[in-house]
């Protein structure tokens, strides 16, 4: 039987894909917020693309569930539900814990893990809790990168964008992000010591704690 070759990377991006990725990163970085209406005029000028290209990027993100289109009202950023948050954390535990458990501790992505923890400490010192949140997203994206799967990393980018939208609906970023700066450092130390099983178990407990925090605050907000 003839063997098949499966590419390790995703196909080259079109201009619309590139614009969609730019908007996805704005969501992950907390620059766009849940419920926010998006202006074609201002975004096409900001991104230096035509409105047709921007609309195609919007269609990509609508299909991914990150944007919402209403006839005659335009495009807005979605507002995640409690069910969305529960599902996001379920997927995170499946992807991240497995990636960490099976990774080589000197995998090149460990440099990105260190960079993310260093950035989080710097942001904590200046009280930039939104910046801490962005560093935390980078840390977890680096965990997924340990799996060497472009598809998993692309999937996680969508998940991270949805999660950041949920974070943005809450009023106290310090409460959400402060506990995880030192926990990320501890997790990284376990991983780099070669105890990947303990690191994966620690991460699972960490994600359960994070989910409970987000759900408790989120539920109070929408009551």
pLDDT, tens digit, 9 for 90 and up, residues 164-201: 888 887 778 898 899 999 999 999 999 999 999 999 99
User: 10-19, 59-68, 91-100: which has the minimum mean pLDDT?
Assistant: 10-19
45 pLDDT more than 80: yes
pTM of the model: 0.80
12 pLDDT more than 80: no
135 confidence band (pLDDT: 50, 70, 90): very high
CATH 3.40.50.2300 fits 82-222, yes or no: no
User: 158: closest CA among 88, 102, 205, 90?
Assistant: 88
158 confidence band (pLDDT: 50, 70, 90): confident
Angle CA 212–217–221, to nearest 5? 145
Query: What is the domain partition of the chain in residue ranges?
Result: 15-77, 82-222
- CA 169/CA 68 separation, integer angstroms: 17
- CA 4/CA 172 separation, integer angstroms: 50
Question: Quick one: fold of 15-77?
Answer: Arc Repressor Mutant, subunit A (1.10.10)
Which parts of the chain are beta strand (E)? 37-38, 67-70, 74-77
DSSP secondary structure, 176-195, as one string: HHHHHHHHHHHHHHHHHTT-
**DSSP state at residue 36:** -
- CA 97/CA 146 separation, integer angstroms: 11
Q: Do domains 15-77 and 82-222 have the same CATH topology?
A: no
- Residue 220: what are its φ and ψ, rounded to 5°? -65, -35
Instruction: Give the ranges where 127-172 is alpha helix by DSSP (H).
Output: 129-145, 150-168
Locate 48 and state its tokens.
Answer: 């230096």
98 confidence band (pLDDT: 50, 70, 90): very high
Starting at the earlier edge strand, list the strands of the sheet with 74-77: 37-38, 74-77, 67-70
- CA 158/CA 166 separation, integer angstroms: 13
**Contact residues for 14 (Cβ-Cβ < 8 A; gap 6+):** none
Q: Report the 10 Å Cβ neighbour count for 120.
A: 26
Mean pLDDT of 204-211: 94
Provide the 3-class DSSP secondary structure of residue 69: strand
């Amino acid at each position: 039987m003839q063997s098949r070759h499966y590419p390790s990377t995703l196909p080259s991006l079109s201009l619309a894909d590139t614009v969609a990725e730019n908007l996805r990163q704005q969501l992950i970085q907390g620059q766009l917020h849940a419920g926010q209406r998006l202006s074609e005029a201002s975004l096409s000028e900001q991104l230096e693309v035509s409105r047709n290209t921007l609309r195609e990027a919007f269609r990509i993100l609508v299909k991914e569930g990150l944007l919402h289109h209403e006839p005659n009202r335009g495009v807005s950023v979605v507002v995640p539900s409690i069910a969305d948050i529960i599902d996001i954390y379920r997927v995170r535990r499946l992807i991240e814990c497995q990636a960490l458990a099976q990774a080589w501790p000197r995998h090149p992505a460990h440099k990105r893990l260190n960079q993310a923890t260093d950035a989080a400490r710097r942001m904590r010192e200046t009280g930039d809790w939104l910046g801490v949140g962005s560093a935390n997203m980078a840390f977890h994206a680096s965990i997924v990168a340990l799996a060497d799967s472009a598809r998993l990393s692309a999937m996680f980018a969508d998940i991270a964008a949805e999660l950041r939208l949920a974070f943005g609906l809450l009023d106290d970023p310090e409460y959400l992000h402060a506990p995880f700066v030192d926990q990320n450092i501890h997790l990284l130390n376990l991983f780099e010591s070669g105890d990947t099983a303990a690191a994966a178990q620690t991460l699972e407990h960490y994600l359960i704690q994070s989910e409970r925090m987000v759900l408790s605050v989120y539920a109070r907000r929408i009551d």
